[in-house]
Amino acid sequence: MRVLVTGAAGHIGGHVIEDLLAHGHRIVATDLVPVDDPRLDRVHTGDLRDPRLVRDAMAGAEAVVHLGAIPHPNSDDDSALFATNCLTAHRVLDEAGRTGVRRVVAASSLSAVGLAWSPRPQSPRYVPLDEEHPTLVQDPYGLSKLVLEETARATHRRHGTDIVCMRFPFTGTGERLAAQLAAVRDDPGGHRMDLWGWLDTRDAARAVRYALVTELTGCHVINVAADDTSSPVPTAQLLEEHHPGVPYFTELTGHASLFDTSACAKLLGFAPEYRRIPPDEAPGTAAGPAAGPAAPTAAEGEV
């Protein structure tokens, strides 16, 4: 397929492009900064708020991976952050629908639940946290991701575009991931609000590809996270110490993740390859392969 990748110069964007190229797809890229890669069909440099840029980039695309957004809540102008993320999401998804693109994969965030960047401490209502968990969002970044998901649903209703919104946690690999795991190890309480969720960026890229090629219909919002936490402290102990009294509906053995990813597994046939490895088991290694990926499967769903 010819795939338009927005936010192509970002951390996830670079890995998505490498994975898609390795599997024979053709890439059109957009970003605010130039992307210098002779393997790409086209590169459009500019702001996704510009309708002409989005229109030009969309020309000839068979599918879209929308990663272009302000990727964090750090802003001197919360309203501008919110407006930018919402406007760019609508520009890209609506243009995809208008031009007949049949598949869009969009990067949402587990911040859409409202825990990770909440200005006031909160606890989940239950764990493992699934896609039906009540919305607790207070911050503009998490709110912008909720709007992205609603924009995706509206786009499907209006144009029939099949869309997968992926709720990612922290993503990293190599030094970026090693630094995050070290920070969590040294201060697990400092990461209580993100529920110690993480995902190797190589798994994120592979999940995006699965979402592009799996047979599915509808608009879907799914959690995509590693099977374990980012902390060496056992999960049951983490929950008792930092979120006491929160009910759980499955046995919290070992370092099991507090995010329910069963919808992702069922919809895409996807399982993460990478899990955290304690330093004493693999010195100098931040993460390594666990079970291999399952093959994509067919799925059907409703908005």
Task: Please write the tens of the pLDDT for every residue from 17-61.
Answer: 999 999 999 999 999 999 999 999 999 999 999 999 999 999 999
Whether 301 maps to a domain, the answer reads: no
Q: Indicate which CATH number applies to the domain containing 57.
A: 3.40.50.720
Tokens of residue 44, six digits: 């459009």
Whether 101 maps to a domain, the answer reads: yes
Tokens of residue 34, six digits: 């130039």
Per DSSP, the three-state class of 191 is: helix
Distance CA 209, CA 203 (A): 10
- CA distances 202 to 58, 131, 206, 284, Å, are 25, 23, 6, 18
Distance CA 19, CA 16 (A): 5
Q: How far apart are the first and last CA of the chain?
A: 25
- CA distances 299 to 46, 100, 107, 218, 263, Å, are 36, 21, 20, 10, 11
Domain count, the chain: 1
Mean pLDDT of the chain: 92
> Does the structure show a pLDDT above 80 at 282?
no
pLDDT at 244: 97
Range of the domain at 55: 2-289
